[in-house]
Structure 1
Amino acid sequence: MKKVLVTGGMGYIGSHTCVQLIKAGVEPIILDNLCNSKSEVLKRIESLTQHRPVFYQGDVRDRAVLETVFAQHKIDSVIHFAGLKAVGESVQKPFEYYDNNVSGSLVLIDVMRKAGVNSMVFSSSATVYGEPTKMPIDESMPTGAVTNPYGRSKYMIEECYADIQKAAPELSVTLLRYFNPVGAHPSGLMGEDPQGIPNNLMPFIAQVAVGRRESLSVFGDDYPTPDGTGVRDYIHVMDLADGHVAALTKVGQQAGLHIFNLGTGKGSSVLDVVKAFSSASGKDIAYQICPRRQGDIAECWAATDKAERLLGWKATRTLEEMSADTWHWQSNNPQGYEQ
């Protein structure tokens, strides 16, 4: 059985990917510092797969911990999720974001290479495109015009990894640019459990529906979109997890730099999501219109034909499924994971 080191494997996307890896016959070895996740996740993964992954509590910046992991396991590939991810927080704490995200990524790939492992799949983001000039966004569009430290940290890591791969052509480096991950495992056992106030739309809506928050703030209703609210490409976390398995399988052992968007190829507005979630939950979602946020763009969705052509992967789950699965998770776990 192939072994894959999954950094940040206890987090939202990482944990769902671990479930899909196990189902694909791959053994995940998880490294996570639990700064934005909980140890309960390990039990949930085991419950869903009948397999309890090896788990190391540690930080990707900690060279000694990484060296221990690589010494104790014959790792075939690395999927790198670990990192801080809140846009607003990154503006307030830029040092922490560059230190965690950029420094940690460099330590990781250095230790990985010294251990003789040449396959890396990196969790990047559509934020690297900045403000796009056309829709849909394809992988050839320019990157780097990013307006916040979180997005810039992802862009910097991409540039570092591209340069490292160019200098070491035996490496396989895959950059997966996510659009807007939402949803939960259909069992209701695993989902997104943000600490504090959610930064993303659907978990905020879910917390309004379950009674944890009074109402949703909709930032702007005067965009040049069908209903005036921002349009984004929402992708089910299970489709996203399957995209990682496909990347690992199809190009993870092919030397080179591989770049793919992971999205659905279509956009949904804020009010589309509110309507879908209200229908799935049977709850009225209270919301109020607020001024636009600085840096927000009107619309953003992915061109996905490259991933479909080269990875044999395509997102299949609908906005209705994303909403239903999120509600199943939130209503079963109104306070999120146990401590």
Structure 2
Amino acid sequence: MRQQVLVTGGAGYIGTHTCIELLANDYDIVVVDNFSNSKPAALSRVQKIAGRDFVWYEADLRDRIAIERIFAKHKFCGVLHCAGLKSIDRAERDPLRCYENNLEASISLIETMQRHDVKRMVFSSSATVYGESARVPYREESPLAPNTVYGRSKMMVETLLHDLVHADESWNIAILRYFNPVGAHSSGLIGEDPDGVPGNLMPYICQVAVGKLNHLSIFGHDYPTPDGTGVRDYVHVMDLAQGHFKALRQLSESPGLLTVNLGAGRGYSVLEVVRAFEAASGRKVPYRFAPRRPGDIGSYYADVTRATEVLNWRAQRGLLEMCVDSWRWQSQNPDGYV
């Protein structure tokens, strides 16, 4: 009999790709999403790729009655908690909404899990918890000093999870600190579909290449990096999805609390990504330099030693493949899931 996993935010960018990985590894899944920054059509495409149906609910994690009813209907072996607001810019403009969606929703979910004795969770965190004080490459032991509202919201949930395990050792939790997810499923059926002007580099480039935006704005060109533009650790979303599956499996084999970086373990500058995308797509990407954004850091990338040693995980796809898959998704779906 297959084990059943709840995936919160399962219609989102990370969630959809993770659902495919779980289905491919013979799990049953149940998806909960409020579709505030995702679309139901994404789940239909996941079913098409996987060749399997699954149950999904439109519900908000802060709606305790709705979430209670879902848990009463199913017997979950664990939860992949991918739900939450991810826009750094929007979080700065509306911090209350960010904390409400990322912190309050997590508390509501955890309390429901506790009532139903479901104590295995994989939590989607972020490299933004490190901030500027950590030395590159970022290690899981590096000091946490996030300089954005979004990063602080993730750190607060991490702190909650640490305290939870300390108080009750029957909880088994993996905290996955993402670096910069990019790319799309190789089918071109699912990918990143942001609302409005993208806040992340790759969908911004894609929308310029497909003609939806006139040019790419590169924020900052005077960083202490080889070409002056910011350097980031980009990791293919399907590699990231595999990291979720391996973390879930690890919790069943070695219970406890695990914190792991998921990144490629090296950095690429903005201009390097632009050139790689132009090579992958055959399209020119016009760009203009703009002032640095508050909270942006010149360079960061992951130390992935722990992921390799504990999860037997390492990113397999390089920058060119990330660009090829991103362009396939965008060129086949110029308006996203509409």
TM-score range, shorter chain: over 0.9
Q: Which residue of 2 aligns with 1:178?
A: 178
* Correspondence for 1:169: 169
Q: Does 1:236 align with 2:253?
A: no
Aligned-pair CA distance for 1:171: 0.5
User: 1:67 Cα deviation (Å)?
Assistant: 1.1
2-structure distance, mates of 1:179, 1:132: 16
TM-score (norm 2): 0.98
1:195-210 matched pairs, under 5 angstroms: 195-210=195-210
Query: What secondary structure is seen at the aligned counterpart in 2 of 1:18?
Result: helix
Aligned to 2:40: 39
- Partner AA of 2:97 in structure 1: E
Aligned-pair CA distance for 1:150: 1.0
Query: Who is 1:297 aligned against?
Result: 297
Query: Equivalents in 2 of 1:56, 1:135: separation in Å?
Result: 41
Name the residue aligned to 1:283. Answer: 283
Give the distance between the partners of 2:216 and 2:52, measured in 1 at CA: 38
Mapped contact 1:6–1:31 kept (Cα < 8 A): yes
Paired with 1:252 and 1:261, the residues of 2 have a C-alpha distance of: 19
- TM-superposition CA deviations, 1:92-115 (whole Å, max 9, x none): 111111111100001101100110
Alignment check: 8 A CA contact 1:121 1:247 kept: yes
Secondary structure (helix, strand or coil) at the match of 1:48 reads helix
Unpaired runs of 5+ residues, structure 2, are none
Report the CA distance between 1:252 and its aligned residue.
4.5
Q: TM-score, normalised by structure 1?
A: 0.98
How many residues align? The count is 337
1:215-246 residue CA offsets vs partner (Å, 9 max, x unmatched): 00111111111111100000000000000001
Structure-1 separation of matches of 2:193 and 2:89: 18
Corresponding residue for residue 101 of structure 1: 102
Pairwise CA distance, 1:133: 3.3
Structure 2 CA distance for aligned equivalents of residues 191 and 13 of structure 1: 9
Is contact 2:120–2:251 with CA below 8 Å preserved after alignment?
no
Which amino acid in structure 1 is aligned with residue 292 of structure 2? R
Q: Deviation string for 1:261-313 (max 9, x for gaps)? A: 00010000000000011111100100011122222111000000100100011
Q: Which residue of 2 aligns with 1:129?
A: 130
The answer to whether structure 1 residue 138 and structure 2 residue 139 are counterparts is yes
Uncovered stretches (5+) of structure 1, i.e. residues with no partner: none
1:253: how far off?
A: 5.5
In structure 2, how many angstroms separate the alpha carbons of the residues matched to 1:13 and 1:178?
10
- Pick closer, same or farther for the CA change 1:253–1:110 going to 2, 3 Å: farther
Q: Does 1:54 align with 2:17?
A: no
Q: Which amino acid aligns with 1:264?
A: A
Question: How many angstroms apart in 1 are the aligned matches of 2:188 and 2:244?
Answer: 21
**1:133–1:150 Cα change, 3 Å:** closer
Instruction: Return the offset for 1:148.
Output: 1.9
Maintained 8 Å contact 1:169/1:255: no
1:314 aligns with 2:314: yes
* Structure 1 CA distance for aligned equivalents of residues 302 and 248 of structure 2: 21
Cα root mean square deviation, aligned: 0.9
Letter in 2 for 1:127: T
Greater mean alpha carbon deviation, residues 132-141 or residues 208-217 = 132-141
Cα distance in 1 for residues equivalent to 2:260 and 2:162? 14
CA distance in 1, matches of 2:293, 2:61: 33
1:87 match: 88
Match of 1:251, SS state, is helix
| 1:110 paired to 2:111 | yes
Matched with 2:78 is: 77
Secondary structure, counterpart of 1:213 in structure 2: coil
Q: Percent identity?
A: 50
Question: For residues 256 and 9 of structure 1, what CA distance do their matches in structure 2 show?
Answer: 24
Any conservation in 2 of the 1:307–1:314 contact (CA below 8 Å)? Answer: yes
Paired residue for 1:259?
259
**Runs of 4 or more consecutive aligned structure 1 residues displaced over 6 Å after TM superposition:** none
Name the SS of the counterpart of 2:188 in structure 1: coil
SS of the equivalent of 1:74 reads: coil
Match of 2:6 in 1: 5
CA contact (8 A) 1:84 1:100 kept: yes
**Alpha-carbon distance in 2 for matches of 1:252, 1:119:** 8
> 1:92 and 1:188 mapped to 2: Cα distance?
33
